[in-house]
Chain A
């Protein structure tokens, strides 16, 4: 029963993703603009010194590819959570919750389905990045997969947790601005943290504390066939904690409105 339920959730998510081709397009346009336009413009102004995991000096395009890949995961996970708010408003969440299968399993299935959609988008983005000569170690692409899955599970759980406390679709747009953009811009996705430290110490501290920075660095190291131990511990711990909280928050409540 559990396997069939999982494949049912997975095929629904993939079907919906395939039907919303504009979603795929917009998910790719954003990072590609950063890569092809922003990076080209800033290449000469942002000097990058040699830091781990890099073994030689690199171009800015190469620096931001892991950050942009993490951005795809971030946006897709939050969009998937947005779809939960939509499902709840439209009532289709009730259908999911009427399944005899346990709710943690259902939520886990949704998150894994979301992970697969994220991974497809990220690997399409990696293919595009070859056009600007960003060629990463072949094994790195393989090592990146579990990191993408882990990061997606963490951000998806965070999104579910947020989605459960958002009553209406309109409010979610606000949360996108208050959660996604700070997570992204206060991270090492677009600039190394030492650069931020040169500019402002407390901003650096915020960036270093941001778990999304850990996710970006974990992915960056994996792409260069290296393991970033501390970011791994941070992301694994946060994934377990946010998933547990998200499951807990989706229990039936006595008040009206949580399940539509």
Chain B
């Protein structure tokens, strides 16, 4: 799926969260780097339609949320920054609920769920309440949930924040594999430089502006930097 964001601006009262943002997402992983308050979560809210777009346009394969919401949402998987799981329900109940919201028949849902849990090393947790899972397992369940309906667009808002290295690596591997083997478009917001791979596309957001955009390896070359951390520092310096 291709997503084209054109001249999107968004304000909360007098505060400008996004200022004339232009960006394009293509199949593969696009990493979104930005410090706190850069506008990442606002961008996610607008992409998911949880907040109303007041200026600019967002096209999903040429369609718009205002006219083709159902079609677009059916192809979108989202992991929010904060957990959105129901703590009192089990892993299976949480995932089945989400599958039902996407109109997936119970027997199909269960086979999808089993496959995803196996992939994310969570099979043994099927009937465990979310409340009794650790942070890493909860995050993996969120990832499994956003993959149940086989989305073509994945929006991941800091999906690995607060996780141990093993969980971070597993989530990263699953998402990168999915993007490359199935052509899924992924927008992954992160603070962690090591999560950005040279083959990924990269967008740097600062104070509501896109300050750098392109293939990661090309940006490193353009800014003559040896790694993402230095690239980030340089881009932020120029943005000031």
CB distance from A88 to the nearest CB of B (A): 10
Residue contact B50 to A96, C-beta cutoff 8 Å: no
Question: Interface size (B, Cβ < 8 Å)?
Answer: 40
Residue contact B99 to A98, C-beta cutoff 8 Å: no
Taken together as a complex, chains A and B put the C-alpha atoms of A116 and B48 apart, in Å, by: 31
The segment from A1-9, A31-39, A179-187 found at the interface with B is A1-9
Select which of A2, A19, A95, A255 is within 8 A of B12 by beta carbon. Answer: A255
Residue contact A101 to B101, C-beta cutoff 8 Å: yes
Taken together as a complex, chains A and B put the C-alpha atoms of A96 and B48 apart, in Å, by: 12
Return the chain B residue nearest A99 by Cβ.
B101
> In the assembled complex, which residues on chain A have CB atoms less than 8 Å from the CB atom of B83?
90-91
Per-residue CB contact flags for chain B residues 54-98 toward chain A (1 = under 8 Å, else 0) read 100000000000000111111010101011111111000100111
Taken together as a complex, chains A and B put the C-alpha atoms of A253 and B52 apart, in Å, by: 5
> In the assembled complex, which residues on chain A have CB atoms less than 8 Å from the CB atom of B102?
1, 5, 99-100
> In the assembled complex, which residues on chain A have CB atoms less than 8 Å from the CB atom of B51?
252-256, 259
Return the chain A residue nearest B89 by Cβ.
A15
For residue A97, CB closer than 8 A to chain B, the reply is yes
For residue A49, CB closer than 8 A to chain B, the reply is no
CB distance from A91 to the nearest CB of B (A): 4
> In the assembled complex, which residues on chain A have CB atoms less than 8 Å from the CB atom of B37?
none
> In the assembled complex, which residues on chain B have CB atoms less than 8 Å from the CB atom of A102?
70
- Given A94-B80, A98-B76, A254-B54, A8 and B89 touching (CB < 8 A)? no
Per-residue CB contact flags for chain B residues 179-214 toward chain A (1 = under 8 Å, else 0) read 000000000000000000000000000000000000
Residue contact B105 to A254, C-beta cutoff 8 Å: no
> In the assembled complex, which residues on chain A have CB atoms less than 8 Å from the CB atom of B52?
251-254
For residue A16, CB closer than 8 A to chain B, the reply is yes
Select which of B48, B69, B80 is within 8 A of A100 by beta carbon. Answer: B69
> In the assembled complex, which residues on chain A have CB atoms less than 8 Å from the CB atom of B69?
100
For residue B49, CB closer than 8 A to chain A, the reply is yes
For residue B100, CB closer than 8 A to chain A, the reply is yes
Sample of 9 further A-B pairs with CB below 8 A, known A100-B71, A256-B51: A5-B101, A8-B101, A11-B100, A94-B50, A95-B101, A97-B50, A252-B52, A254-B51, A255-B51
A interface residues, Cβ below 8 angstroms from B = 1-2, 4-5, 7-9, 11-12, 15-16, 19-20, 90-92, 94-102, 251-256, 259-260
8 interchain pairs, CB-CB under 8 A = A5-B100, A5-B103, A92-B86, A94-B84, A95-B101, A97-B50, A98-B73, A101-B103
